[in-house]
Structures are given as C-alpha cells and as structure tokens.
Structure 1
C-alpha cells in the first residue's frame, strides 16, 4: 500500500440530552465525569449547561469495534448508512444526512476528500487511541461554526498515561457473515500501540493499525469468475486500511503543549460484474473485465497549546494542517491469466485544509461570571474531476475560506441557575457573512433533579460538490451551482434529569428530553430547464426545500455494584418539503420509533465482563421521487443485537474478547415504491451482510 501521512487533532464537543455512560469495567468509577465538549474548560457533566452523551472506552472495547460505525450503530437517533458498493459508511441524525453532522477529533473538524468535518466516512476512523467519545445533538453553530446543524461528535484521544511504559498489541479475526478463511475471506485486524512517560512533564506515544476486510461475496462469485451473468465480483467491496498516529506532549503546571500526527492509507477494490470476450493476434481469445481501484490517503497535523497568561486568563490554541485525496486506478483484468494491464491512475478528489482555532476565557475574578472569546480561521483548497459532455473530464480547483469570531459567557445567576449565551460571526470568502447565536439554561433542583434548555441557530455552507460538480452524459445533465446560499437552521431543546442513590446501593438516572429543529433553504437537485438545442432536461442544485423535526426521547440507567443497564427510547417526527421544480412532496410529519438497551456485568471473581447492546429501528416513511410524483415510501423495521464476553488473564496482561455482531442476522430490509412508477412494489435496502463472529486477543504491558 502507498503510505502517506495523516494526522488528526484536537477537538471538543457539545451538547446532548442523554445521561452519561458509565465505565463498565468498574461500576464504582464514573467514566468521563469530566467532559470538554461545549465547555470553557473541562468540568463535570453536572456543571455543564449542555447535556453531553459519553461513549466510554470500555464500551468500545466490549464491542470490539473495528471503526466508528460499529459504535454508533447502537445509539438512539443515529442511523449508520453503509454502502457495500462504495465501501463508505456515513451517519444520519434525525433524518438529516452526514453533511449536517460534524465529526471532530480533539476539537478539530476531520477532513475528507469532499469537505471538512461533514460527510465523513465512519469506516475510515480508527479507534486505536480513543479515550472516549462525546456526542451533542442540536444546532451548535456558536461553538463549532458551519455545518454543526444536527449535532457534533467529538473524539477525545489519549494524551497521557499513569504508567512509565505502556505497550498494547492485539489481533482480531472476524467472520463476514458465514465467510471466513485465514487469508482470503473475513476480516483480519492487527494493532500495536506504545507510550512512554519520560518524566512528570514529557509523554510520547505511537501506534499503528491494519484492518483488512476481504469483502463479502453474498450471491456474487468473486473476481476470477469467468461467466458474463452479472454475478462476478463482490456484494461488499474488499478494503484494506492502514492507520498510524504519533503524539508528543509536554506539561508543566498549567501549561501544556502537544503535537499529534495521524495518517490513513486505504485501498478499495471494485470488480465489474460485466465480463467481456474478445480476440487479439498476440493474446488470442481472452476474457477480461474493466475494473477499478480506489486509493485514499489522509494526513493530519495538529499543534495545540493551553495555559495561563497574566496570572488569570486561560488560553487554548490549535493550528492544524490536513489533507485527504482519492485516486482512481482503472485497469483491465485478464481472467484467464489473472493479471492486470492498461493501468491508468488519476487523482479524482482532494481537500487540503489549513486551520487555526483559539479561545481566551476567565476574564473575571468573580466566578459567578465567565467570558470566552475565540476565533476560527479555515482555508480549504478543493479539487475534483468533473464530467463534461463527450465523456471529457476537466479538473476544477477552488479555494474556500472563512474567518470566524465568537463570544460566549457563562453566568451563575444563583448557585442553582446558570445561563450561557453566545454569538458567532463568520466572514465567508464565497458567501455572504453568516451568523449563529445560542443560549443555554441550567437549573439544579433539590434531590438530584437537573433541568436544562437551549436555543440555537446556525448554518450549513454548500459543499464542494454542490457548488462545482458536473455530470453530462447520455442525455443527462446534472450540475452544481456557484450561486447557492448557505442553509439556515434553528433548534430548541429541553431536558430534565433525575439522579437517585438508594441506601441499598442502587443508582438510578432518568432523563427525558424534547427537541425541535427547523432548516430553511435546503439544497436539492432540481429541474431548471429543457436545453433549447437538444431538449434534454437539465438539473442543478438549488436552495428549494425545507425540513422540520421534533424529537421526544428518554434515557434511563441503573447501576448496582458490577451491573449496569441502560434503556432508551425516542419518537421522531420529520416533515420535509421537497421540490424539484416539477412536483412537490407533501410536508406532513412522518413518525418513527427507536429503542435501544445495553447491559454490562462484571464477574470480578473470574475477571470477566459480559455485555450486550440492542437497537430497534422502527418503521420509517419518507417521500421519494417515483415516476411523475413524490411517493410515500416505507422502510421496514430492523433489530440489531451485539454481545461479547471479555476476560483478563495473568494479572490483566492478557485479554480475550469473544462475541458476535448483528445476532439477528439483518441483511436487507424492504423499501416500498422505489422503482419507476408510483405503484411499484419496492426493493431491498442493503443494511448489513448478516451475522458475524469475532475473536480478539490483546496483550497489555504496563511498567
């Protein structure tokens, strides 16, 4: 594999209306009691004006998760959308796709070849050095700027260790449905991470992870199948990933500085279902297929410094440089000889980002009032090949910049009541200046009762594809639109949480939350005209649609000694007015119900943890373009359940995890009225490749 350098960096994260996940290894320890997302500085969840949902490192270990999609698939309001044909997995929150949900690492938006922070491929995010994950739902425009419309996810990485030396090595073998072989079927993962604490000031770490997914055949016959019956290739594409990271950190008193570097190198193989036959004087009669290979490379550099100036003011400054690009290699695969020829590689997409963010707070000695001011500077250099007429591909290079300034204050009106207003101004190089505002409220009652509410408005800027894409082929005409304007959003949220500790040792946490989200000027592909010369219909991205959502949810947690149980439910109503300038959808609210539950039990005598994670995605409905109208389509419900047993040996140095994913063997679900014509029966939506089993062996050396 071609290795290029990739580096993630620091990222903080905001608010969500759910109770905190607990450490399932030791139930007496409250994992992530201190959070950083949406805070002026790290503080306890109870003191936070915003609700932050925390996914612990122990949950990640219990799931033996390969990547971020394995983790998020179990959480309320979040839908992971995998694609076996592209190899990508993206996230949808409240029915809004990944362009509205921002993913950060240590407070820095993560780049992808099409943008920054949004539409991120979850399968490309390695979990090797994650401390925990913080999630906040709702508009977070003040804290995180453009595109934080439905929520943000902040990955907090490990930056210290209580040991002088720490070495962690693991291997994991996993079936892909019923397909497995040691080398050419299934999933094979190896990882190594080492860290060293030189003194109380210096810390370094480095790690590497290899994830080899051999693809899923399903009803296909693999790359060497000779017959032209459309069954060649794979149902889920083979993929190989190599991730690496390194960190060096220095800390003295209140000053800390760290530099972090990460890289990703990914290869995805696409095998055409069509087999062609021909003859040449040199090769004779032969069969071949026109195949492709996708190369994705990402590097990430982040330098972060925090400290104190003038004996009072706290600062936090990050400077990052990151780039991700995708190349496509076209080649002819000769089936008789199993060799390749006519290989041509070209860069397809890339995004290079130079950014800096900084904050300054603690202006007043009176702790009842705090003020934070900050800035975000982002410079994006995008590249894409666009398809003009006559199958001609033309490179497009564009630079997008924004210069943001924001201010937020936290006011302790009383010991129980706090207010957090904020405002952001964003100067855009491509669009009109944008604004975001918010206000958060928190009131602490007696007997562990907490009340929170928030209002926020934000914006989503058009992505590179919506602005500059072009596809003209075989009478089809689809183009971007440089005159698009940013979408705007408004959200309202309220929650009440009750935490109770009983004399018997039982701990009970209950959260009830409600939210409303409105998005105006949504961007959709719509008909603009018939070409005057050819009569061909032309389509273009325009600001034409609307979206509204309300959500009612509850999250409940029970802890007793070594047992932790979580149960949650959510009812979501979504209204989408979709208009393509030919016909318009109905804007009625469509409802869906989701349920999740998890348990973890620590058998201390045996040093064993038994855990399970369940998710129910209820029937959902949406309007889709079908024939000459928008038809109401229904997607059948699905049930997901993962379970594992994790046991430690030899003074916790050796660890074995055995488990299964997708125990209910979900593959496809039916979606009605997807074919041409409003009265068609429907089709299957591919969600997963079925039940799989995994075995993970890990070695930990702590000195």
Structure 2
C-alpha cells in the first residue's frame, strides 16, 4: 500500500511539472510594509485564482515566478486583513512592486508559528492552539536557564530532584515521557523519565519557545501525549544581498537568596558571547559560547553540604550553511559539558573523612536540516540528527586533613550511562489546489543505551510514514485529518495513529477549534531492558511491553475583542480531556515475591480548561491567564463516593510597559500555583500488630512565584537590566497529608528572594 502511495505522489508531481512548463514565467518581486513603515514579515502575496505567489521575508521582500499577463494581486495579512488590486506582469521588464502597504502596524501583526505547520502560520490561522514565548519576552525576563524562562507559564509545573540536581517539567497534568522536547523541530533524547534536556540548553541561543498542548503523535511520533515544547534557536539575519556581521555578548549576575560572591562561587554567574557572519553569496556562519556557573545554595544546611547542588555548565554551538530565496541548508552542533557537584559532611566520629557524589554530563547534538521551495506549490523539508549523551556518576572519598582523594569502591558508587540516537525525517508540503494541500512524511528513529543498570547494549528503532491534509471547503471552515503508521518497530506499536483538527471562523473576530487526537508513547530503553539487583532490589525491564496510548479531545474559542491600530485585546477559552490507556508502571510480580518489573497495567485521565487574555495598548503588554486541571483518582472505580478527579488551579499574569522616551521596559511576571492533593494507598501495621490499609489525600500546598525586571537602553547596542527574582521568597513546601501514618516530606522550589543585574551587548554592521 505504501509503495502505491509513493508511486502515485511521484506521478502527480511529474504531471504537474509538465503542466508548469507550458508557459514562460518571469520574476515578480516587491516589498511589503506596515502602516508605520516597518518591513512586514510572513505576508502572503498571491495572484488571484492561480497558484502563483510567495511570502515576504524578514525584510518585507517577496519574489516568485509567474507567466506574463493581467492579474489581481492579493496581499493577505496574517492578521486577516486583505488587499486586492490589479497588476500587469510583462516579459522583458522588471516586475517589481515597491512599498505595498498593509493595514496593520508592527504591533498588530500576530506572531508566526512553525510547530506542526505545513508552512509558517500566524497563531490565528494555525489549526493547533499554540502558545509562544517570544524574543521580546525573553529579553524582558532576563533568564539564565529554560526553567527560569518557563516557571511562570500557565499549565507548566516544575519539580526538582535534589539528589540528582535535575528539573522535570509537567504539561497538561502530565510529565516526564509524556512531553516531547524539540530543538528546531528535532526530538531530544533524555536519560529516562525526567526531561533533563530542557535544563541543558543554552537560553542565550533561543529565539522563541512554542508550546502546543495535546497529542501531536501524527507529526512527531512517540512521547507527544501531553504536548510539545519546541525550542527555536536564533538563525542570524536571514538571506541578504549584502555582507553582514553580528557580535553579541551578555553578562548576568544573580544572588541565590542571600548567598552571593562577585563573579564566582556563591550565586549564579552567566556569561555568553555569540558571533555571526552572512555573505551575499548566501553562505553564513554563526557560533556562540555560554558559561553557567551556579554556586549552589546551602539554605538550612551547614558545613560542606548544599541544599541545591553547585552546577557548572559550558554550552557551545556552531552553525554554518547556505541560503537563498528558495533554499536553506544548514548544519548545527550543540555541545554541553555539565558538572553537578554533591559535597557532603563527614560523620561525627570522623568529620575529616567525606564522601562526595558528582554527576558529569556531556551531550552532543548534531543537526543537518534543509528546506527547498521547488515551486509555488511544492516545499520539501529534510532533517538528520545524531545525538550522543553520556552521564557519569563519580563518587570520591576524601581526607580533608591530608588532602588525599580517591575513587570510592562502594557498590553502585561509579557508573556511566550513555545514549546514542539517530533521527531522520523528511516531509513534502504540496499545495494541490488553493483550498487543499497535503503533507506526506517519513521518519526513522534509532536509539541505543548502555550503563550499569541497563542489560547489555540494547537498541530500539522504528520507521514510520505519516500523512496530513488541510482542506478549506469554505472560508469559514478548515479541516486537517492526519494519520501515522509504522512500517517497522522494535516494540508492539499501534497500527494507526489518527487525528482530526477543525477550525471554524464563527465571525470576523471569533474562531472555534475542535480536535480529536490519538497519542502514543513507546517504551523507553529503561522500561524494556532495565536491570538492577542487590540485597534490597530485584528489578528488571520487560521487553514485551506495548506502547501506551491516549485519546484526546480539545476545544477552544478565541475572540479578538478589540483590534485597532492602538489597542489589541484577545481572550481564549479552552478545555481538554485526556484518557491514557496501557500506561507503563513498575509493579511487583505476583508469582515471585519482592521481584518487580514493568507492566502495561495503569489507566490515567486528565481534564481541564483555561481562560487566557492578552492586551496590547500602546507601550503596555499584559496577559492574565487562569487554568484548572483535574487528575484522575484511580481509587474512585472501587468507591463511588470518592471524586473521579482532583482539581488544582493556576493563575499566571505578566505586565510590561515600554517608555519610549527613555527606552525603559518595566516587567512583572507572576504565577499562583494552587494546592494539589491526590489519593494514596497505604498499608501499615498497628500497635497491636494488625495489618491495616487506608486511602488518604496527600499533596502540596499552594504557592506564589514572581519576578520583577527593569531593562534600560543605554545606547543603540547596549542594554542594562536589574531586578528581583523569586519575589515571594519561596524556598520549600511541606507536603499535606490527611493521615497520621504518613511521613511528611519537603519539596524544594526555590532559593529565596534574589537580586539580579545584567548587561547585554549587540552590535551589527556591513562589510565589503
């Protein structure tokens, strides 16, 4: 069947190519500007009732080929405004249309998104509901990590593993392997369930972040059950007919609560530099280096111990490629060298004898990507990535009195875990008719792992074919069905993974989105081949595991309440329902006491909704978002008196004001994370030696987080920022437990109120 599909596509492409040769085409070009004279990017230009057209670039320039003749040119703003006017295209003449003005000013143009799209789209035109953190928000927040960038985003929760020095992310009530992390559309590998890759990216190289909630398994495959976080990196200035260069640098200093040393040791110290060169031939090269030095946080501990482990990161990236108006080919390498230190105190009897555990990580991420615009109807994208992740656990023994230091020989004190992955994908976006386009694609993934707790050096791979279509039968209705199927898989994969997205244009300013998506998650190498045996543990992986799967229903209504040259107010009401089946969980084997392995035994659900409001008015930008997420209570099936879901609220807001006269930005970011309690089952022995059990509520109290920053433009290339991080002095929260038999625990969420100051530099120019 797949063979026939590919043959059919090739035949149709060949026929369309023959048709396209019937008439001589000439170049049509022009520039699009906003009402305030700024070049307008991603504006669609089309010759009415034809396939001929293009899209404006970052300089407002567009170019395409079309036969000579008389046409009506359509200039379609992504914010939905449209202009039509007659044009004559002639052979042997320069058909250039200068300064075509659209109705919007620069502040009214909606953000363009790429995640899951056939081609770049405005957020309003996208059938997916996409949230973004753009470059302006990144600059205003002055983050030193992806965690500090996303910590006040609605629907995202952070949890910290103090023993390993890692942070995990939760989206739509699901975390770990249920969230797909992409770097420029390429999936990143992680060591197990925790998404440590997000904390190992250079925040200084990020252009923007796109967040899509809900399964995207048709497009991106495994793990995209709860959603996708796509980190989009800076790519330089784009294609130019001039030689250009760019030099940027940034220094950011922050205290950790009250702990700080100037530029070293205590506190957080971030320094970065990036360079870029673009040649008019189309060749370009970019590179950057960032050092993140986190001195740790001692908090209530004494001596050598740290509540937050010290961390030192060196992050490097390099990129080179070639681009013109119809092609962009580039290679990028990201390298991480991370050291997390775990200093400890000695015992009371031998305080000079200490045992320290450090975690040393090296990560290489190679990408080779290309985009070709073959003609006005056909775009091809291809990507190849090789990733190498190695984490070493190093335990050392030291005698502080003599300075001697040696590797520990204790059980499990030394370990090296390594993962390697190849990812290759290719897609073709084919505009068959003005109202109908398709995107076939193929993707191959191969992963290999080895380590002290992995049996051998196992490999897992799969080869999948996917197909999506966008159909717009009427102006008010857009449909996007899609399906992914596996050609080869080293696990029990679903036969077909379908999805259907719809968008209804209810009025000029109101859109309704409804979608159904089938999501899946393939078993990880750890779940398939884990092996850990000692006096206290007997745990093995299960090579016979099936993929988890889920059903998702999502709906949203977006209403542009106000949309004028001076003010822009949008409100969005959304809701979702997820039903996860065959969830993989670690459980005891009923036939072998104290022996545990992984089984497809669990079921889980999440339900929720949000109300999001965005205001732009002169120099003011404000967002107010509220969400409520319910998590499934598995014990309700046996006790109908118990609630099926436990709900927890969130409130997120950001306010920024730009003072044009002084070049000052004042920004406030705030988030309220509501109380979250879930049901737990507990067996215990009473004082009279009886076995009892109970089901009780346990969870975390509510808390507040917030940041305040002020950014001042000193010169055209120099900006100063200063602010207060963790406004509410958050450090830790004790768990809430409605049981006298529960042992309280503490979750550490911050280091207390901290101060920050930074300087950023960006200079660019031209050369001969």
**Aligned counterparts of 1:180 and 1:319: Cα–Cα separation in 2:** 43
Report whether the alignment pairs 1:691 with 2:747: no
Which residue in the other structure is 1:174 paired with? 254
**Aligned counterparts of 1:678 and 1:477: Cα–Cα separation in 2:** 30
**Aligned counterparts of 1:236 and 1:85: Cα–Cα separation in 2:** 9
**Aligned counterparts of 1:212 and 1:27: Cα–Cα separation in 2:** 42
- Report the secondary structure of 1:139's partner residue: coil
**CA deviations over 1:89-109 (Å, ceiling 9, x no partner):** 110123312210001011100
Answer whether contact 1:276 1:288 (CA < 8 A) is retained: no
Seen in structure 2, the aligned counterparts of structure 1 residues 89 and 633 have a Cα distance that, compared at 3 Å, is same
- Report the secondary structure of 2:153's partner residue: coil
Which residue in the other structure is 1:562 paired with? 619
Which residue in the other structure is 1:469 paired with? 530
Report whether the alignment pairs 1:234 with 2:306: yes
Shift of 1:502: 5.6
Answer whether contact 1:577 1:584 (CA < 8 A) is retained: no
- State the TM-score, normalized to the length of structure 2: 0.80
Shift of 1:172: 1.2
Which residue in the other structure is 2:320 paired with? 248
Seen in structure 2, the aligned counterparts of structure 1 residues 337 and 630 have a Cα distance that, compared at 3 Å, is farther
Paired residues in the alignment total 644
**Aligned counterparts of 1:504 and 1:326: Cα–Cα separation in 2:** 53
Answer whether contact 1:577 1:586 (CA < 8 A) is retained: no
Shift of 1:200: 5.7
**CA deviations over 1:489-518 (Å, ceiling 9, x no partner):** 010111111113366822110100111111
Seen in structure 2, the aligned counterparts of structure 1 residues 494 and 454 have a Cα distance that, compared at 3 Å, is same
Answer whether contact 1:351 1:383 (CA < 8 A) is retained: yes
- Report the secondary structure of 1:606's partner residue: coil
- Report the secondary structure of 1:142's partner residue: helix
Q: Which has the higher contact order (CA 8 A, sep 6+)?
A: 1
**CA deviations over 1:4-63 (Å, ceiling 9, x no partner):** xxxxxxxxxxxxxxxx9xxxxx99435762211111111222221111111111211222
Answer whether contact 1:112 1:323 (CA < 8 A) is retained: no
Report whether the alignment pairs 1:354 with 2:354: no
Answer whether contact 1:112 1:325 (CA < 8 A) is retained: no
- Report the secondary structure of 1:62's partner residue: helix
Answer whether contact 1:626 1:678 (CA < 8 A) is retained: no
Report whether the alignment pairs 1:657 with 2:740: no
Which of the residues 139, 150, 153 maps onto 1:72?
150
Seen in structure 2, the aligned counterparts of structure 1 residues 200 and 155 have a Cα distance that, compared at 3 Å, is farther
Report whether the alignment pairs 1:119 with 2:195: yes
377-386 or 121-130: bigger deviation: 121-130
Which residue in the other structure is 1:669 paired with? 733
**CA deviations over 1:179-234 (Å, ceiling 9, x no partner):** 111222111111000111111612211000000011111122243xxxxxxxxx11
Seen in structure 2, the aligned counterparts of structure 1 residues 343 and 503 have a Cα distance that, compared at 3 Å, is closer
Which residue in the other structure is 1:313 paired with? 378
Alignment of structure 1 residues 393-432 onto 2, 5 Å: 396-432=456-492
**Aligned counterparts of 1:137 and 1:663: Cα–Cα separation in 2:** 28
**Aligned counterparts of 2:212 and 2:707: Cα–Cα separation in 1:** 24
- State the TM-score, normalized to the length of structure 1: 0.87
**Aligned counterparts of 1:693 and 1:585: Cα–Cα separation in 2:** 49
**Aligned counterparts of 2:251 and 2:417: Cα–Cα separation in 1:** 33
CA RMSD of aligned residues (A): 2.6
**Aligned counterparts of 1:147 and 1:585: Cα–Cα separation in 2:** 34
- Report the secondary structure of 1:47's partner residue: coil
Shift of 1:82: 1.8
Answer whether contact 1:583 1:630 (CA < 8 A) is retained: no
Shift of 1:631: 2.8
Shift of 1:521: 1.1
**Aligned counterparts of 1:538 and 1:584: Cα–Cα separation in 2:** 32
Answer whether contact 1:88 1:122 (CA < 8 A) is retained: no
Shift of 1:461: 1.2
Report whether the alignment pairs 1:92 with 2:170: yes
Which residue in the other structure is 2:499 paired with? 438
Report whether the alignment pairs 1:265 with 2:307: no
Which residue in the other structure is 1:609 paired with? 665
Which of the residues 95, 110, 115 maps onto 2:188?
110
Answer whether contact 1:333 1:341 (CA < 8 A) is retained: yes
**Aligned counterparts of 1:583 and 1:385: Cα–Cα separation in 2:** 42
Shift of 1:240: 0.3
**Aligned counterparts of 1:586 and 1:316: Cα–Cα separation in 2:** 51
- Report the secondary structure of 2:215's partner residue: coil
Seen in structure 2, the aligned counterparts of structure 1 residues 528 and 395 have a Cα distance that, compared at 3 Å, is closer
**CA deviations over 1:389-428 (Å, ceiling 9, x no partner):** xxxxx76310000101000000011122110000001245
Seen in structure 2, the aligned counterparts of structure 1 residues 358 and 578 have a Cα distance that, compared at 3 Å, is farther
Which residue in the other structure is 2:298 paired with? 217
Shift of 1:362: 1.3
Q: Say which one has the larger Rg.
A: 2
**Aligned counterparts of 1:256 and 1:457: Cα–Cα separation in 2:** 33
**CA deviations over 1:410-450 (Å, ceiling 9, x no partner):** 00111221100000012453212323110110111333111
**Aligned counterparts of 2:392 and 2:633: Cα–Cα separation in 1:** 36
Shift of 1:269: 0.9
Query: Gaps spanning 5+ residues in structure 2: where?
Result: 1-78, 80-103, 684-692
Which residue in the other structure is 2:712 paired with? 647
Which residue in the other structure is 2:644 paired with? 588
Seen in structure 2, the aligned counterparts of structure 1 residues 172 and 578 have a Cα distance that, compared at 3 Å, is farther
- Report the secondary structure of 2:590's partner residue: strand
Shift of 1:71: 1.5
Seen in structure 2, the aligned counterparts of structure 1 residues 684 and 557 have a Cα distance that, compared at 3 Å, is same
**Aligned counterparts of 2:392 and 2:726: Cα–Cα separation in 1:** 33
Which residue in the other structure is 1:9 paired with? none
Which residue in the other structure is 1:540 paired with? 597
- Report the secondary structure of 2:451's partner residue: strand
Report whether the alignment pairs 1:324 with 2:385: no
**Aligned counterparts of 1:274 and 1:166: Cα–Cα separation in 2:** 51
